[in-house]
Structure 1
Amino acid sequence: MSRKKWVSAALALVLGTGLLAGCGGSSESAPEESGEQPNLLNETGMPIVNEPISLRFFTGKSPTNGSKFEETLVWKTYKEMTNIDVTFDLVPFETLTEKRNLALAGGDYPDVFYSARIGSSDLMRYGEQGVFIPLNDLIDQYAPNFKKLMEEYPDIRKGLTMPDGNIYSMPSFYDPALLSMLVGTPLWVNQEWLDQLGMKEPETIEEFYQYLKAVKETDLNGNGVHDEVPFSATGITGLIDHLKGSWGLGTSGLGHKFVDVDPDTGKLRFTKTQPEYKEMLEFVNKLYTEGLLDKEIFTIEGGALNAKGQEGLLGSTIVPNPETVMGRTEYIGLGALKGPHGDQLYSHVKVPMVHVGAFAITDKNPHPEATVRWMDYFYGDEGAQFYFMGKEGETFTTTANGELEYVDEITNNPDGLTQDQAMAKYFTWLGGSYPGLVRENWFKGSETLPSAMEAAAKAEPYAVKDILYNFNFTNEENEIMSSIGKDIQDYVNEMEAKFVNGSASFSQWEEYVNTINRMGLEEYMRVYQTAYDRYQGE
């Protein structure tokens, strides 16, 4: 037991239970040397603890989720099963990074960070400081489901273990065989509008452009007003991540947004200064300049985007599935678009361990053993099915051939709710980022609907095969990545938007490249290459 934890326990004994509860923990007294009070924890089975305890979770929330997690079917039921009462302090994903950083830096954080998208560098930094506790021994003793998963997929342990040897988090993990989940948010186009226009499904960059242009010029919804929006999304990042494969970039998937493996040399390259990247940005700028991108694309949030989709205004978009978030069934997902030089790579493929820091326990948590058991349930078949499907007869039924299906109230809601809206009172996995295990057997979200599976089937022949998991940098490397690296990445993101919206001219491209070089690109790439070589050698 660390001195910090020993002092905390001693103070709790002196000051009483009220102070501990005020720190975001349970109303129980501080744990003894073993972590849990004698007879409180059950090491197997349910309930997890013999007496009720309370925990507070800092929790990321998508626009499609409800505003009171505690009232959903899953968490009300799980509270009864476990004897653990969790309060979810919800933070919208749009402000998650800022709020999370403020909480960690200021010390005002609760027992657990849940669906909080914590990156490897923060896990390492705050793990070393003692804010996040090591989970190695706790997983070994109290997480049989997750331990089994790491044995099945050794890259999980490799991706979670920090250079100091500790594991500080439990992840979101998608079955690598389920490509539709790794794609996540396909590039969708309106099939009905294609038919009206007499156009075939776009297979090239040029055909995609011609489709968007036709949408702008035609009153496809027949209301006498040119209110159709050719393409809309929450920002331009998703579009760029989809299109860059058409210029041969993004060969390593979405786990590394600024670098990929150069297929000619086998070494890492910084993609954001490549001539191909410039040409791709010029294409996106062309879309923006000609009014083919939503004029609100840099500011619109998910709820407003879904509302536009529900009104039938969108020619193309990037969301999990228009069927579930917009109630529209006329969209099809595109495959890999062939670029102007013949490149045809489907680059929008996530790392199976999509969120490394989806679940982390803090040093304020008086019940780490019980908390690990609470989370481990969702890495097993029973818990994962419950998390995604709920209760048989209430939220799902089983067909004669053993398939699980949501009840009609969810899939054909009598009040006209979309599937996501209908599910919000039962579940909290909508919008992603949750810790846990996703397999096709029980996951019946938008990514496993026929339209999404068809989109994945189109993508599969051209999808990135050698996906790089996250790299965990040493302390020295993290210092460089959090200073030089962050400055470069922030500058690139800023200039990316400016090049697209025209506030920066492409005549400034050479200046942009030179600025990145002066900021320390050589050192940045040296660190990245060293981490990559280490990753490959392990």
Structure 2
Amino acid sequence: MLASVAAACSDNKQEPVPSSQAENSPSEQPLDKVTFRIFNGVAGEKDVNTNETRIGKILEEQTGVNFKIEHLVGDLNAKVGTMVAANEYPDVIIPDAAINQLLNAGAFIDLNPLIEKYGPNIKRVFQPYYNRMKAKDGGIYFLPFSTVVNKYIPDPNINQGGFWVQRRVLEWAGYPKIRKVDEYFKLIEDFIKAHPNEKLTGFVALTHDWRFFATTNVPNHLAGYPNDGEVMVDMQTHEAKIYAGTEYEKRWFKMLNEINNKGLFDKSSFVDNYDQYIAKLTSHKVLGFFDYGWQIGSAQNVLSDAAKADPSQDGYRYFALPVTFHGGKDQYLDPPGFVNNRGFGITVSAKDPVRIIKFIDNLLKEENQILVKWGVEGETYLKDEKGRMYRTQEMIDKMDKKFNEDYGFSVFDWDWPHFGTNSTLSNGNAASPGLQPEVFQLSLTEPDKKILSAYGVKTYSELFTPPDERPWFPAWGIQKEQGSPQQIFEAKKTEIQRKYIPELVLSTPDKFENVWTRYTTELNKLDIAGYEKWYTERIKEIVAKVKGQ
């Protein structure tokens, strides 16, 4: 899978830091305590001091550094706009979709000099993509969250896209093989008809703020393409085409229009915020939705914890299905890739950038990646006589949402530079415990085993088609110039979609064609050809580099 990139990553071994660099190790520095402020532009998470967790306390003992993490409340662009207007920032910002706003404002310092002097581990981990991290002026203004280190291994779970349905629906129907999206909606409709007194919701959609892509990306997946963002990329010609305004998109929103007029769609989907959406997923009333596994983790954890306490609740957990329009090959699972338009930036207001970059460099040592992913040996994992890392059933059973928050697994899960989920350690173990076969199999409950067995698989991802090689993946992670025509195009396209998609879904069937015509007329006023040309050129450049041309 993506042999050329994977091979480059597999050469990225975790060697000891040379003695000449040891003087830059945080462990050699005076351990005076300091607290830095981080603003994370994602809502719905707990604010926390990292040293209040088991893992964070160990890292503070190594470096003297604690981070006070504050998460988004309210509108992201408004929050960041206030910072920009005052030219006052926390020490670190993880801005998510507002990253361009901060880059345009000059909010981040250039990390190049700090990395050169204090970042041997940063350079080693990101080595295959180091030049792609640089802006046009040569500066590195934020650190990407992850890259595959050493060998790539697949994820047994579904952390990417899928059409989710309550497990009890599948059990009720006798575990049918669902491959087409119309079969999926028929299943939900039949279940609701058979349970008229439960006040069930057939399908919800996530449209809040930057997460709107969970609704707009769907026709791309139903057509059999992976999450490359705004475009579908032809595997032979590498031509990039948008799918907004195409027959794929029309077919999807017409389908939502039909289920809405049957009373199966939650109309509040277009006004609910993310927290309300997550609350609905845990209410036991929502039968289905499309989303990415990483985005519904908090809901999944609540439902899983409840099912562990009371196995009769397992039917309210969700199961991902790889449905498409045609019922054939899907591409929901991500191939190895590199995302370079999100990250961890040190701001111009940071009181001690050197201490921060040293902390990150220390964090990227293999022993500390084991700490933040596996924990402490004897507490949250063990090793057998062959050096294979594993967890006991008792360890797994205690790792509920609260434990993971208190221990620090949740705090250090994603928004830091780290070994990507599909990485391996230098000793061959999986960097992420969930991808270690011994751990995954032990983590399965009896209801898990039952539903997997019903579908003839041992892991959830086995139901999905393995991903094709895509050297450019993901296309949405290709960095764009600030204020570029591509960014302007995307902003205008999204604005048009926000205007028309609710009307497409909620109108009466006889008005759908009229709304679609108005929508595509406005969309076609944009420079679609120029946008597609730019993406095609970038993708072909990456393919050529991978092929050594």
Q: TM-score, structure 1 length as denominator?
A: 0.75
Match runs of 1:316-331 below 5 Å = 316-317=288-289, 318=291, 319-320=293-294, 323-327=300-304, 328=307, 329-330=314-315, 331=317
Equivalent position of 2:369 in the other structure? 384
In the TM superposition, what whole-angstrom CA distance separates every residue of 1:34-80 from its partner, at most 9, and x where no partner exists?
xxxxxxx9511516544333322222455354655552222233222
Stretches of structure 2 that go unaligned for 5 or more consecutive residues are: 1-21, 308-313, 423-429, 453-457
SS class of match (2:270): coil
1:117 and 2:96 equivalent? yes
1:481 and 2:486 equivalent? yes
In the TM superposition, what whole-angstrom CA distance separates every residue of 1:143-162 from its partner, at most 9, and x where no partner exists?
222211223xx2x3244222
Amino acid of the structure 1 residue aligned with 2:144: P
Task: Using the aligned pairs only, state the percent identity.
Answer: 16
Equivalent position of 1:405 in the other structure? 391
Equivalent position of 2:417 in the other structure? 435
Match runs of 1:6-405 below 5 Å = 43-46=24-27, 48-61=29-42, 63=44, 65=46, 69-92=50-73, 95-114=75-94, 116-117=95-96, 121-122=100-101, 124-126=103-105, 129=106, 131-151=107-127, 154=128, 156-173=129-146, 175=148, 177-179=153-155, 183-184=159-160, 186-219=162-195, 225-232=197-204, 234-235=206-207, 237-238=213-214, 241-242=217-218, 244-248=220-224, 251=225, 253-254=226-227, 256-263=228-235, 265-317=237-289, 318=291, 319-320=293-294, 323-327=300-304, 328=307, 329-330=314-315, 331=317, 333-340=319-326, 344-347=329-332, 349=334, 352-354=337-339, 356-398=341-383, 402-405=388-391
In the TM superposition, what whole-angstrom CA distance separates every residue of 1:205-264 from its partner, at most 9, and x where no partner exists?
222111111222122xxxx8322333345337435535533224xx3x32x422222457
In structure 2, relative to structure 1, the CA distance for the partners of 1:515 and 1:343 (3 Å cut) is farther
SS class of match (1:57): strand
1:424 and 2:413 equivalent? no
Deviates more, 1:209-218 or 1:343-352: 343-352
Amino acid of the structure 2 residue aligned with 1:166: G
Equivalent position of 1:24 in the other structure? none
In the TM superposition, what whole-angstrom CA distance separates every residue of 1:121-178 from its partner, at most 9, and x where no partner exists?
456534xx3x312222322332222211223xx2x32442222222111112253533
**Alpha-carbon separation, structure 1, partners of 2:183 and 2:275:** 29
CA contact (8 A) 1:42 1:49 kept: no
Equivalent position of 1:505 in the other structure? 512
**Alpha-carbon separation, structure 2, partners of 1:430 and 1:239:** 28
**Alpha-carbon separation, structure 2, partners of 1:132 and 1:119:** 13
In structure 2, relative to structure 1, the CA distance for the partners of 1:123 and 1:245 (3 Å cut) is same
In structure 2, relative to structure 1, the CA distance for the partners of 1:482 and 1:276 (3 Å cut) is closer
CA contact (8 A) 2:243 2:249 kept: yes
- State the superposition RMSD in angstroms: 3.6
Q: CA deviation at 1:302?
A: 4.9
In structure 2, relative to structure 1, the CA distance for the partners of 1:457 and 1:531 (3 Å cut) is same
In structure 2, relative to structure 1, the CA distance for the partners of 1:203 and 1:387 (3 Å cut) is same
Q: CA deviation at 1:191?
A: 3.1
Amino acid of the structure 2 residue aligned with 1:313: K
In structure 2, relative to structure 1, the CA distance for the partners of 1:411 and 1:392 (3 Å cut) is same
SS class of match (2:183): helix
In structure 2, relative to structure 1, the CA distance for the partners of 1:512 and 1:294 (3 Å cut) is closer
Q: CA deviation at 1:295?
A: 3.9
In structure 2, relative to structure 1, the CA distance for the partners of 1:97 and 1:380 (3 Å cut) is farther
In structure 2, relative to structure 1, the CA distance for the partners of 1:296 and 1:202 (3 Å cut) is same
CA contact (8 A) 2:206 2:274 kept: yes
SS class of match (1:269): strand
Amino acid of the structure 2 residue aligned with 1:403: M
In structure 2, relative to structure 1, the CA distance for the partners of 1:406 and 1:380 (3 Å cut) is farther
Amino acid of the structure 2 residue aligned with 1:234: L
In structure 2, relative to structure 1, the CA distance for the partners of 1:269 and 1:439 (3 Å cut) is closer
Q: CA deviation at 1:431?
A: 7.5
CA contact (8 A) 2:343 2:415 kept: yes
CA contact (8 A) 2:334 2:467 kept: no
CA contact (8 A) 1:119 1:356 kept: no
Q: CA deviation at 1:359?
A: 0.8
**Alpha-carbon separation, structure 2, partners of 1:245 and 1:378:** 35
SS class of match (1:497): helix
Equivalent position of 2:6 in the other structure? none
Deviates more, 1:452-461 or 1:78-87: 452-461
SS class of match (1:177): coil
SS class of match (1:460): coil
CA contact (8 A) 1:110 1:364 kept: yes
Q: TM-score, structure 2 length as denominator?
A: 0.74
- How many residues in Structure 1 have an aligned counterpart in Structure 2? 474
**Alpha-carbon separation, structure 1, partners of 2:92 and 2:214:** 30
Equivalent position of 1:9 in the other structure? none
SS class of match (1:364): coil
In structure 2, relative to structure 1, the CA distance for the partners of 1:472 and 1:302 (3 Å cut) is closer
